[in-house]
Structure 1
């Protein structure tokens, strides 16, 4: 290996930096002779904080500026929450690898310690995700769902300031920031199916950079790769994105996988949910078939109606 310095591009939030530092530590551990630096890059999603995510448009919202720097050679690799990464990447870029997946489930954080089953129509539950909103309303149509933006700390402070009575967020981020004690409950996937590839950290690289690919191969987790790639194939087949109520959860058991996919109407009244059991080796193929089955059983009509809103 001839290259001595590697530059990682990332967003500047606490969580994004945590993820980048994990990649930095993994690479430094595997290749002690390399100097690994982190460069913070602001994205559109970091700058526009007063508009609901569903109204901004989601393609590359938290990734485009970082990917531009990667394409231009200003950084050597980019670190993202995999769930923020569109299924179609810019030409010349690929997902080079992934760290071992963290907590997959969503969590509820409430001001007074009440669980989801104890929430009433008078309680305001905050989320920025249409996926969470639709499933919360399906679970209890009487819930009041309000929008919220900002990083984890900002959202927690907004709750304390009275913006809402409870938050629903990805458990991985809460745990990674050391806020486990704030978690009221982990939401079972039968209640809130997680986002596609939730809890996974992706390392994006240039397709033709063989040196960086060898570096990333040394720190990448194969099981995370197999499970999340299957989920991303489901999302790609559904032509969904961050701001469409699509969810998928792959639960590995040895060499087998239980794959569940979901499409929901915005009001939560209609939910198409299907599950398939398969081997890890055929997971991506089965994910595509699962997505087609969801589309054929009403998912296509749901998604078409949302896209015309």
Structure 2
């Protein structure tokens, strides 16, 4: 059995929180195990002045870490699962997830106003087309501005006057202990989350059988079932950061509810469907839900967006 596990991660405070949480849980589950966190800079960490949708998002925050995993420089990669492309490099696989954190997006404002108090004179920062389209669907008068950088730098830009408000993932704000800055949590009915938002995943080499007992011991089965269904939805739509797609699953009384969304960039067209199924059918039904959205106008919407 392995005596040392090297954990690869990005270097932001949030990424380090995720890696250290995995490190803590591994060491708690296996007495005497040694772990080491290895920081790796990715392309997404270097390019901060271009919108995500204009860069291309396949492996933007993962490719360099995955290469280190393939090369044997690390034994385990820790990622925010919503950053992971649906197609992984040959020789690598997802092997588990921590229990899911907050799934909702949150609104932060400089002066404590809530989103519905904003006017057409106010700027709201977001780096996500998914958030942009849903915001404009509910608040078409808002001025949306692109904003990049880690959690703290985006908040600082807002406080320096770049924008009056920010939309961000609630899980990241909570994990950094910045809940006091949250003006409001946006309901799922207003802002359907990104696929696997709030989930931290582990990635390993397919041929590394020694690592399996470690990741299985700290992986959460319920979260895994939910996020795999959401990723099947995304894979069917061939989506990512370049298109406004959302999907969210939730367990109610032993049943799985799946909600999916495809929208136009300006928010004027928003297709949203849901279904309820047994948990072991979730992946299959998520694919069917995606196909239903495609057939009801989603395919034309996505073609238009990709063409633009």
Is the structural similarity TM-score above 0.5? yes
Deviation at 1:201, TM superposition (A): 0.1
Deviation at 1:110, TM superposition (A): 0.6
Which residue is 2:175 aligned to?
Answer: 176
Deviation at 1:93, TM superposition (A): 0.6
**Does structure 2 retain, via aligned residues, the 8 Å contact 1:111–1:160?**
yes
Which residue is 2:258 aligned to?
Answer: 259
Deviation at 1:213, TM superposition (A): 1.4
Separation (CA, whole Å) in 2 of partners of 1:216 and 1:200: 15
Separation (CA, whole Å) in 2 of partners of 1:261 and 1:208: 34
Separation (CA, whole Å) in 1 of partners of 2:116 and 2:250: 25
Separation (CA, whole Å) in 2 of partners of 1:214 and 1:81: 21
Separation (CA, whole Å) in 2 of partners of 1:112 and 1:18: 28
Q: Superposition RMSD on alpha carbons, in Å? A: 0.7
Deviation at 1:254, TM superposition (A): 3.5
Q: 60-69 vs 28-37, which deviates more?
A: 28-37
Separation (CA, whole Å) in 2 of partners of 1:86 and 1:243: 12
SS in 1 for 2:218: coil
1:121 aligns with 2:120: yes
SS in 2 for 1:234: helix
Which residue is 1:108 aligned to?
Answer: 107
SS in 2 for 1:218: helix
1:79 aligns with 2:97: no
Separation (CA, whole Å) in 2 of partners of 1:93 and 1:36: 20
Return the TM-score normalized by structure 2: 0.99
Separation (CA, whole Å) in 1 of partners of 2:82 and 2:100: 12
Deviation readout 1:175-228 (Å, 9 max, x if unpaired) = 000000100000001101000000000000011111111110000000000000
Aligned pairs for 1:1-309 (under 5 A) are 1=1, 3-309=2-308
Deviation at 1:34, TM superposition (A): 1.4
Deviation at 1:243, TM superposition (A): 2.3
Segments of structure 1 that go 5 or more residues without pairing to the other structure are none
User: Which segments of structure 1 move beyond 3 Å, counting only runs of 4 or more?
Assistant: none
